[in-house]
Amino acid sequence: MHRRTLILAAGAAALVAAISGAQAQETVKVGLILPLTGPFTAIGRQVETGARLYLQQKGQTVAGKTIELIVKDDGGVADATKRTAQDLIVNEKVSVLAGFGLTPLALATAPLATQAKVPQVVMAAGTATITEASPFITRTSFTLPQATEPMADWAAKNGIKKVVTLVSDYGPGIDSEKAFSGVFTKAGGQVENLRVPLANPDFSPFLQKVADAKPDALFVFVPAGQGAQFMKQFVERGFDKSGIRLIGPGDVTDDEVLNGMGDVALGAITTHHYSVAHDSPENKAFVEAFKKASNGTRPNFMAVGGYDGMHLIYEGLKKTGGQGGQALIDAMKGMSWTSPRGPVSIDPQTRDIVQNIYVRKVERRDGELYNVEFATIPNVKDPVKAAKAN
Ligand code: PHB
């Protein structure tokens, strides 16, 4: 081959490499894995709508690259989550894994995030230890101990002496049971613990035990979406007239199903990180846009986890110029912003979310039921990890 031809060939090869490299870099793929069928569909829908809303508002381009959201349904089954995550890493070459509607689904994916060095943004699940399962996990939802300890404080200070706890028998339920019981008994309260299966729960036999124990309050944790079924059985057993107060983290009165519960929910006191009634300009705009995007469905705390999760990904990519991997998870550490829920940040040590927890009471306003916030505990860290650090 002549020297000139050789140079031309080499030049062409370099050009092809440069073009395909540029194309590869033009798109940043985000894999969003959620339960979009099965018993936990409501969680998946809320997170997905929140995440899509953020992209719709901010535009798909960040750091000169297009964000491509790939949404996958795991049906709420951990094996499917893991398989899907593997496929997204290997075949789609995603820069970020996101979503994770329930604790077992987030935990099943953690080893893959570690191996592939792909940041995993947990937008829904709430067991405290999740962020410890991989150095690539961060979270924009909440932890049950974070949301629950203020409930125990409030109960102890407001004349409640005897409590029965009733929780879903898996990670977040056990976390909330422990958090409540620990703080409440330290303050001199008396507790009895009951656990109900996560799948197809029948609350009746447990409610009979509660009636027999005659506590001042019943503390409940069920995952988002299950509150309506619990409340139905609560009324059927006449608890609304029993004088036993209903308390818990805010999952049981989640904003999507609360309005359908009727007067039985009135007066329930819960502690949580988000209420659709949160009074801020950011939240008013968020609620209005979410309802518009979802045929009038109210956003709940899962929606805000999805919306903020996309914010964290978007701002993280801005900082890294579109790079994923270790650079991206490092960029996310310490980030702070104003969420529809109030001020939030990512703890640089634990990669978990730091946020306000609000004490709320269910009230009727303009004909609708709301969790109306009446006290704020600012900047709460996950207490389980905070205790380990001390
Ligand atoms: C969880 O599985 O971690 C979970 C699910 C729903 C909730 C809270 C926690 O409302």
The answer to whether residue 279 scores a pLDDT higher than 90 is: yes
pTM over 0.75: yes
Share of residues in the chain with pLDDT > 70 (%)? 94
Q: Which atom of ligand 1 is nearest to the CA of 170?
A: 2
pLDDT at residue 240 greater than cutoff 90: no
Residues with CB under 6 A from ligand 1: 102-103, 125-127, 171-172, 223-224, 251
Q: Can you give the pLDDT at residue 18?
A: 47
What is the average pLDDT score of the chain? 94
pLDDT 10s digits, 101-130: 999 999 999 999 999 999 999 999 999 999
Instruction: Give the integer Cα–Cα distance in Å for 45 and 286.
Output: 16
What is the mean pLDDT of the segment spanning 200-213? 95
Alpha carbon of 225 to ligand 1 centroid (Å): 10
Q: Which ligand 1 atom is at minimum distance from the Cα of 104?
A: 2
Pocket test for ligand 1, best of 34, 43, 102, 273 (most atoms within 8 A of CB): 102
CA 125 to chain centre: 5
Pinpoint the alpha helices (H) of the chain: 3-26, 41-58, 78-90, 103-116, 144-157, 171-186, 204-213, 227-236, 255-258, 281-293, 301-320, 325-332, 383-389
Which residue puts its alpha carbon closest to atom 6 of ligand 1? Answer: 223
Phi, psi at 38, each rounded to 5°: 90, -175
Ligand 1 centroid to Cα of residue 107, in Å, is 13
Confidence (pLDDT) at 19: 46
> What is the C-alpha to C-alpha distance for residues 272 and 356, in angstroms, rounded to an integer?
8
Label residue 346 by pLDDT band (50, 70, 90): very high
Compute the distance from residue 193 Cα to the ligand 1 centre, in Å.
Answer: 19
As a whole number of angstroms, the longest Cα–Cα distance in the chain is 96
Give me the pLDDT at residue 25, please.
52
Atom of ligand 1 nearest to the CA of 102: 2
- Of the pLDDT bands very low, low, confident and very high (cuts 50, 70, 90), residue 4 is low
Beta bridge partners of 355: 344, 380
- Ligand 1: centre distance to CA 273 (Å): 13
CA–CA separation, 360 vs 120, rounded Å?
Answer: 31
Question: Region 171-187: what's the mean pLDDT?
Answer: 98
Nearest residue (CA) to ligand 1, atom 3: 125
Comparing 12 with 186, the larger pLDDT belongs to 186
Nearest-atom number in ligand 1 for the CA of 125 is: 3
Question: Which of 165, 82, 156, 158 lies closest to 116 in space, CA to CA?
Answer: 82
Residue 289 has pLDDT above 80, yes or no: yes
The Cα–Cα gap between 232 and 217 comes to 18
Q: Ligand 1 mean position to 104 CA, how many Å?
A: 10
**How remote is the CA of residue 13 from the centroid of ligand 1, in Å?**
52
**For residue 40, pLDDT beyond 80:** yes
- The pLDDT value recorded for residue 390 is 77
- Alpha-carbon distance of 362 to 182, in angstroms, equals 26
pLDDT, tens digit, 9 for 90 and up, residues 83-100: 999 999 999 999 999 999
**Of 343, 172, 362, 149, nearest to 276 (Cα)?**
362
Cα 25 to averaged position of ligand 1 atoms, centre (Å):
35
Residue 21 scores a pLDDT above 50 = no
In whole angstroms, what is the distance from residue 380 CA to residue 388 CA? Answer: 15
**Chain segment 309-334, per-residue pLDDT in tens:** 999 999 999 999 999 999 999 999 99
pLDDT value at position 2?
A: 52
CA distance 173 to 189: 20
Distance 143 CA to ligand 1 centre (A): 9
